[in-house]
Amino acid sequence: MQKEKIRLESGEIDLPKPLEQLSKNEIERKMYIAKVMTKTLSYLTQSFIENGFEWLLPVVFSKSTDPLWPDPGASIEKRIETEVYGETVRTTLSMIVHKIVASSLVMPKLFILSPNVRIEKRDRRFTGWHLYEFTQLDFEIRGANSSNVMSFVDSIIKGLIFYLKKNAKEELEYLNVYNSLSVPELPLKVYDRIWLEEKYGRDWEPFFKDDINEPAWVTNIPREFYDYEDFSTGRWDNYDLIVPKYGEILSGARREWEYDKLVRKMERDGVRKENYLLLLKLAREGKIKPSAGAGIGVERLVCWITGSKHVGEVQLFPKIPGTIYDL
């Protein structure tokens, strides 16, 4: 394929190239990014284990997966469906339903390195921040609330940056980000989405990410049926973590668990209940337990840490919307 450029908010950059087209210097940069990826995953997985989490293996096909609706940030061109043993199954958009069920029935604290397939609209290639195949570090905690999760993530992010500055100094210096990557002060600041809309308008994220100098939380974001919503106030008990100059790297929430609320929200939002029969059955039987959790975009996290210009740069085999490579 020909060398291709895309125009981002920050200017024009090269679209990440496949491995066979990389120069010697570009391959060396890929190697240093891969070393940071390895150390990042090592720290994160070990930290979850030390905090009492069980490691759940991912699911690729299932009848139930995240509807990604009516999340205003979703931009899906198509959903991948296929037939297996006479049944229609879908590729994982996220393991949110699996997490809720697993944490309710088996593992009070769990995490997964989950591959997600989201066929983003082609114009998302121009953001530098979207992929159609990526990995989430998903986790869920039975009986937790939003404050519990946000405090835990605060400590994880601070610990990770401290660890990398100590144990990946050579790599970060090669990538020219060692001095600019700072260990954040805790607790991370929290902003309400309504306040951000009043300041920046409905499309607040591009402006907000350029105004902050450290990762920050945004709460109260209207989203899918499984995020907890207080019907009396209209407020959502959920949260996104935004990193400076890049954007959202984590999305999570306190979960809905009551059958009547789940059904009411599905009907309101036009979500097909037949795609979530097991979840609804368990909720009706009182087997779904209150929980909270989140998903961390691994490639986005490493993109921010390494100062990469495009999130596809941290993948050895880039999966950029609208672009298909041989591998």
Digit-coded pLDDT (tens) for 42-83: 999 999 999 999 999 999 999 999 998 887 778 888 899 999
The whole-number pLDDT of residue 74 equals 80
Q: What is the mean pLDDT of residues 227-245?
A: 98
Asked whether residue 142 is assigned to any structural domain, the reply reads yes
Q: What's the CA gap between 143 and 46, in Å, rounded?
A: 22
What is the domain extent for residue 310? 10-314
Q: Over 80: is that where the pLDDT of 33 sits?
A: yes
Which residues are paired to 245 by β-bridges?
none
Digit-coded pLDDT (tens) for 257-271: 999 999 999 999 999
Asked whether residue 296 is assigned to any structural domain, the reply reads yes
The whole-number pLDDT of residue 126 equals 86
Digit-coded pLDDT (tens) for 150-204: 999 999 999 999 999 999 999 999 999 999 999 999 999 999 999 999 999 999 9
| Number of domains observed in the structure of the chain | 1
CATH number at residue 286: 3.30.930.10
Query: Could you tell me if 197 and 204 are in contact, meaning their C-beta atoms sit under 8 angstroms apart?
Result: yes
Asked whether residue 323 is assigned to any structural domain, the reply reads no
Q: What's the CA gap between 314 and 175, in Å, rounded?
A: 12
Query: Could you tell me if 279 and 288 are in contact, meaning their C-beta atoms sit under 8 angstroms apart?
Result: yes
The residue to which tokens 């209209």 are assigned: 234
Asked whether residue 320 is assigned to any structural domain, the reply reads no
Reported pTM: 0.95
Q: What is the mean pLDDT of residues 3-22?
A: 69
C-alpha distance across the termini of the chain, in Å: 13
DSSP state of 255: B
Asked whether residue 185 is assigned to any structural domain, the reply reads yes
The edge-to-edge listing of strands for the beta sheet with 87-91 is: 61-62, 87-91, 81-84
Q: Helices (DSSP H) in the chain: which residue ranges?
A: 24-50, 96-105, 146-167, 169-174, 193-200, 205-211, 259-269, 277-284, 298-306
DSSP state of 241: E
Which phi and psi angles does 46 have, rounded to 5°?
Answer: -65, -40
Asked whether residue 325 is assigned to any structural domain, the reply reads no
The confidence band for 12, taking pLDDT boundaries of 50, 70 and 90, is: low
The confidence band for 9, taking pLDDT boundaries of 50, 70 and 90, is: very low
The confidence band for 247, taking pLDDT boundaries of 50, 70 and 90, is: very high
